[in-house]
Amino acid sequence: MRTGACSMWPRIVTHAAPGVVLALILALGWRGKPTVFVANAQAPVGGTNECLRSVEFPANVTTSKEAIDFLLTEYVSTEHPRVWRRRTFQDFQSQGPLEVLVFVDFINVFHVNEKAQDMNILMDITLSWTDCRLAFKPFSLDGGDTEVKYLYQDALTLWFPILEMENRRISTNDFDIRDAVSAGQSGGMHLISTSEGRVAASMRVQYLTRCAFNFADLPADLTSKCGANFAMFVDPASLTVLVPMVENASVIPPINNPPSFVLQNFRYEVGEKKVARPIGLLVGDADLTGNSSYFHALYDMQRNNYFYSIFGIVPSVISYIVSYVGLFIGAEAAPARVTAAVVPVLALVNLNNAILTGLPPIQYDTKLNVFVLVSMGFCTLHLVEYALVTYARKQARKLRRAREALEKELPSTQPEFPKQQRLGTLKAVQPIQAKSGLIFASITRSMPWESEKVMTTCGRLDVTFRWMSPVFYGMSAALVFAL
């Protein structure tokens, strides 16, 4: 497919009068013989799309309307151009599928709904194909010197390749290709035919389209293959094939990017796909049971991570810092310590719920949610650590009082034993007369003297957590966003 003279014109289509531009395109861009493509629209084959006839207008045709009426005298808009040619000229061998050139120019992408996973796309679509029934010999109007080589047509009177949107969601605000065809020249479409039988149509449409978002890397996620997915569901690829009008490098980005996203990597993809049709369905001599040609105008959506960084990451870090500062508050200041440990956990629970509310019911984790859960886990660990410290301090005080009471209640003649043997000595001693002595002796039997050292060590957890917590929190956060 030639792109030299045509590679710059799509930008003009957006800004100039569509009718004049289409006339220039048809007059200058496709004067040669287009290449015939096989069903996959990739490998050229022998043959030509050159029309075998052209209509010569009689002398009484002096206006464009009269020329159009004469041209469409025996025209049947429901008959496919290839079927007509095969029927008229018995031309079966040299004719490949009808090549429909497609160009999609994205004007605006807006109203991106991440939870519903859809968005509105406003775009200009240009189609071009050959219909030899419309080929005519150039003529002059009212005896003038200027030859007429193209005619403005009404879309309802011509055969038109209707592209179906595969990823469309039905919306009352949609203005699709069928609407543009029915609107004709009243503003929905500009359609021109040339003397060589080349037809070009330009229309502006709006669709609500589906797109499967990938939230795994949120807040820096990249969603691929959004856009407009068109296919010829009626005609098989052996009859009509969709071909990009320009190379991918010439695809024009939209004028405006949607909030929170940057659109990039604009490209076209073509191919064939299986479509279920009634077996043995025929249009003329064309078998309609084969695959259909599709044309996808795609782009990728890279999220601008500013919003979720401010909304998710920063509050999580602040909540962790508040909980971490609580480690420097003395364990005896219970109200302050409990507040510093509990409030960040509650804040992170609400934050995680708020993030999940804005997402669809996905079946996988996102990096942002994992980071919030990691922050919540460390804040919860600070709360558990304070509970252990409080319990250890309480048990240490109880053991210390028990030892002091036992030393007072024991007989003065009680021999001194090494510390490791005191427990056995106490077990052999008869019940002590003092009531308090019996109680403390029972406590001592259930926990040896060495337990006081264990409780003292637990009481030092604050000091240990002050350096362990930030180190492991930083490592965990880096691991979450690195993987």
Tell which residue, 88, 197, 94, has the closest CA to residue 137: 197
Residue 421 has what pLDDT? 46
Q: For residues 260 and 312, state if they share a domain.
A: no
Which residues, 6+ apart, have CB-to-CB distance to 11 below 8 Å?
A: 252
What mean pLDDT is predicted for residues 269-292? 64
The domain boundary residue, chosen from 262, 289, 304: 304
Q: For residues 57 and 106, state if they share a domain.
A: yes
Helix axes 461-482, 314-325, angle to 10 degrees: 170
Q: Nearest 5°: phi and psi at 376? A: -65, -40
Q: For residues 129 and 271, state if they share a domain.
A: yes
Rank 45-59, 61-75, 400-414 by mean pLDDT and report only the highest: 61-75
Rounded Cα–Cα distance for residues 228 and 11 (Å)? 19
Q: For residues 342 and 476, state if they share a domain.
A: yes
pLDDT tens across 321-344, in order? 999 999 998 888 899 999 999 999
Rank 62-76, 86-100, 267-281 by mean pLDDT and report only the highest: 62-76
Distances (CA, A) of 429 to 37, 161, 435: 106, 106, 15
CB 203, CB 180: distance < 8 Å: yes
Judge whether 2 lies within some domain. no
Judge whether 208 lies within some domain. yes
Rank 260-269, 338-347, 391-400 by mean pLDDT and report only the highest: 338-347
In the predicted model, what is the mean pLDDT of the chain? 78
The domain boundary residue, chosen from 304, 333, 362: 304
Q: For residues 82 and 179, state if they share a domain.
A: yes
pLDDT tens across 440-470, in order? 444 444 444 455 666 666 767 888 899 999 9
Residue 37's pLDDT band, with cuts at 50, 70 and 90, is: very low
Q: For residues 331 and 298, state if they share a domain.
A: no
Considering only CA atoms, give the Rg of the chain.
40
Q: For residues 289 and 313, state if they share a domain.
A: no
> What residues make up the domain containing 478?
307-482
Judge whether 373 lies within some domain. yes
Per DSSP, what are the bridge partners of residue 136? Answer: 55
Distances (CA, A) of 329 to 156, 325, 336, 366, 383: 81, 7, 8, 34, 13
The domain boundary residue, chosen from 282, 304, 326: 304
CATH number at residue 368: 1.20.58.390
Rounded to 5 degrees, what angle do the CA atoms 393, 395, 397 make?
Answer: 70
- Number of structural domains (the chain) is 2
Q: For residues 224 and 361, state if they share a domain.
A: no
Judge whether 51 lies within some domain. yes
pTM: 0.73
Q: Return the amino acid letter for 368.
A: L
Residue 99's pLDDT band, with cuts at 50, 70 and 90, is: very high
Which residues, 6+ apart, have CB-to-CB distance to 46 below 8 Å?
A: 36, 94
